[in-house]
Homo-oligomer: A and B are copies of this chain.
């Protein structure tokens, strides 16, 4: 039986536009990886009638409905009650859960009030889903080929609950189990990657291959159907190898890790330290690297040298260079990279200088012109970029390009 799922996000704060529905994106991606089709995402408020009606519509179209939100202890929270009502189930007190909940409150020095008891109620016959990061448990009600999975709203609680407890249930429900790998690349556009892989994409049925663009990067999703993960790995490996051969050093991750993690790993492998000089990106490149725990082993410092004066004083960029070529030039980019490396005493220096706009552009040096400089030991590299778009877009693309440039320098592919 082919499986269709719908995602139903519950919460007035979503309808008022107070928060962005990142849960729907996360779950959609996870279901795509499982080979389960999603035709609808819906957001409704904490309202019993509308919720009941929406359950009815969703189960007419799909055999799986996954909800997020409305599992808390306040009167607003109705998802579990309404889910039970839809399936004609009573809510029964789970005494073990209640004891656990009380113990949790005792530890956290919050008072256990009567309405907290509600969280220990479970729809009759439902499968309990543990919340390792909060007090509201989830559950799964399964009947007549319909499955309702209730997850909490906060992503920090929802994501681990889905991964550890709901995902195995969904995988078991499929006659065929799907397993996916994401191969992440930077520096090749979506249409070019599709061209390079076209014959593979067209000819493959198991595994299937699909490129996905997301926030400046590109991921190739390889999905295999198999009886278990080991068999899936065996089916995927030849295709992963072939993609790897064709896309080569454009690939920075086979395990969904980030470009900044790849860079920190490469620096550690080589025993290198890095320093960064940023102008138009104003700290965003360094901010990305600092996302990685443990970055302090390899990142010594960064200078955000916005003024020419700072470029001279902090990095030793020559006044003549700034005079003759300007702050946004190949020459300045190289002197910034060499300068930050030398004054910081690192093996690697990376620099970024450009015109982010909206002001400051000239005919010769328009908004969107960016130079990247890189110095690794005694070798220097420079790259010119030309971008369209507004300030935010230019800066974001520059951040991706700078991280890509640094990674390619480290693997000697510049």
A residues near B (Cβ < 8 Å) are 14-22, 24-32, 38-45, 47, 50, 57, 156, 212-214, 276, 278, 280-287, 289-291, 293-296, 299-307, 309-310, 313-314, 343-345, 357-360, 390-393, 395
Contact = CB atoms under 8 A, between A and B. Distances in A.
B40 A41 contact: no
Contacts of A39: 15, 44-45, 47, 50
Contacts of A29: 16-18
B358 A293 contact: yes
A159 to B, nearest CB: 12
A350 to B, nearest CB: 12
A383 to B, nearest CB: 21
Given A15-B28, A282-B290, 14 more contacts: A14-B24, A14-B25, A15-B39, A17-B24, A19-B214, A39-B50, A40-B50, A41-B42, A57-B57, A282-B295, A282-B302, A296-B307, A300-B309, A310-B344
Given A304-B283, A309-B300, A357 B293 contact: yes
B301 A305 contact: yes
A302 B300 contact: no
Contacts of A30: 17
A339 to B, nearest CB: 13
A158 to B, nearest CB: 14
A287 to B, nearest CB: 4
Contacts of A27: 17
A286 B301 contact: no
Contact of A286 (B45, B304, B393): B304
Contacts of A28: 14-17
Contacts of A21: 20-21, 24-25, 41
A18 B295 CA distance: 28
Task: Report copies per complex.
Answer: 2
A13 to B, nearest CB: 8
- Of residues A42, A43, A284, A345, which shows the largest number of chain B Cβ atoms within 10 Å of its Cβ? A43
5 contacts: A14-B41, A291-B391, A291-B392, A293-B359, A313-B343
Contacts of A301: 303-307, 310, 314
Contact of A43 (B40, B44, B156): B40
Given A24-B21, A41-B42, A283 B305 contact: no
Contacts of A395: 290
A193 B291 CA distance: 32
Nearest to A213: B18
- Of residues A289, A307, A393, which shows the largest number of chain B Cβ atoms within 10 Å of its Cβ? A307
Contacts of A313: 343
Contacts of A303: 301-304, 314
- Of residues A18, A44, A392, which shows the largest number of chain B Cβ atoms within 10 Å of its Cβ? A18
B293 A287 contact: no
A25 B17 contact: yes
A296 B307 CA distance: 7
A14 B41 CA distance: 9
A336 to B, nearest CB: 12
Given A42-B41, A283-B284, A286-B282, A304 B302 contact: yes
Nearest to A41: B43
Nearest to A390: B156
A316 B27 CA distance: 49
A5 to B, nearest CB: 10
Nearest to A43: B41
A300 B306 contact: yes
- Of residues A42, A44, A290, A299, which shows the largest number of chain B Cβ atoms within 10 Å of its Cβ? A290
Contacts of A306: 290, 295-296, 299-302
